[in-house]
Amino acid sequence: MFLRNKLSLAVQDKMAFLIEPVRPSSIKSHDRFILERKIFPYILSNCKKVLFVGCAKYTKSYNQVFSNIEYWTLDFLEAKARYGSKNHVQGSLTELSKYFKKDYFDAIILNSVFGWGVDTAPEIRLALVECNQVLRSGGILIIGWNDLGTRSSKEFREMINSNRLFELFDLPTLNTYEYRTESHRHVFNFLRKPCNTA
């Protein structure tokens, strides 16, 4: 399963020139509505340095949305760079501390990356460690993923909500740390890197 996902990502990279022109430049769905109308406004009002992981044709317009803040994008496929920010890094979420300084970002948005390339429990664990490294104290981690109700979904949810690196964060624009949308079983989880108490 894991190998199949990796192979299909490599094929996607090579075939992007065929697939991308037919993809829409924006998506109308409840999860996208929540991301763009509830989550982004919070980010825009509270954050100065943001990392958005995973690019697609329909995320290109986010460059405009975040044009007044320091907006970074990251994707491990070379073909996705064209949809990224002027501050784009080609690389893996599981190696963030190779590209960014410690405590750099105010927020990191991982939408549809778990399950779309970061698929196994060890990879998710590593991704959370790397996000923790490059987020400042009090920084926000936003994870959007499809909770398919399987055994591994249960395990992912547990890893997201009960890990020691982050605390649960009630996003003020949604009043909750976990929001279930009405589309594709897509769920958003909101975490915060604890503030230094020393």
- 65 near ligand SAM, rule: CB under 6 A: no
Distance in angstroms (rounded) separating the CA atoms of residues 89 and 6 = 20
- 76 near ligand SAM, rule: CB under 6 A: yes
Q: Show the tokens assigned to 83.
A: 């949809």
- 53 near ligand SAM, rule: CB under 6 A: yes
CA atoms within 13 A on the CB side of 61: 8
Contact segment (CB under 6 A) with ligand SAM among 69-77, 159-167, 168-176, 182-190 equals 69-77
Q: Which of 56, 73, 62, 63 is nearest to 9 (CA)?
A: 56
Q: What angle do CA 124, 112, 100 make, to 5 degrees?
A: 60
Distance in angstroms (rounded) separating the CA atoms of residues 157 and 163 = 10
Our CB check for ligand SAM shows the closer of 83 and 166 to be 83
Q: Report, in Å, the least distance between residue 197 CB and ligand SAM.
A: 32
Fill in the per-residue mask, 95 to 134: x = in contact with ligand SAM (CB under 6 A), - = not in contact: ----------------xxx--xxx----------------
- 56 near ligand SAM, rule: CB under 6 A: yes
- 34 near ligand SAM, rule: CB under 6 A: no
Distance in angstroms (rounded) separating the CA atoms of residues 28 and 96 = 30
Residue 194 three-state SS: coil
- 146 near ligand SAM, rule: CB under 6 A: no
User: Which stretches of the chain bind ligand SAM, using CB under 6 A?
Assistant: 9, 53-56, 59, 74-77, 80, 92-94, 111-113, 116-118
